[in-house]
Amino acid sequence: MKMVWIDEKFSKKHYAAHIEKPFYRPTEKYITSGPVIAMVLEGIKAVSLVRKMTGVTEPHKAAPGTIRGDFSHMSYEFADGKGISVKNIIHASDEDGAKKEIDLWFKKDELHSYTTVFEHHTQG
């Protein structure tokens, strides 16, 4: 885990697939407006579990008990009407993007391997 400031160049790398979409500029303004906490979690089904805890992308539709459902409320309609980014407060990589995003956000020496408690107790 680390706290970093994102500039426009890095934002374009992170959101490369979305640069031409109408929501990109407000999203870039949002991600570059303050520090970001970046972290890598690993474990059995880590990506799907983190995405479940995060909630759906549009906070207004996110279930209570999820990060977006409890700590954000904005709808796409409201954000579009104001010309701003949806403040969904968290990003969670999907299965296809996780490796690419880890490589983008972290240097090799910032990642550490270790035996988890679960692995310790399930080894034969």
Residues with a known catalytic role: 91
Nearest to 72 by CA among 85, 33, 82, 80: 85
| Run of H or E including 53 | helix 46-54
Residues in the chain: 124
C-alpha pair distances (Å), 101 with each of 11, 71, 85: 12, 24, 21
Exposed / middle / buried, residue 47 (Cβ in 10 Å: 0-12, 13-18, 19+) = middle
Q: How far apart are CA 88 and CA 57, in angstroms?
A: 7
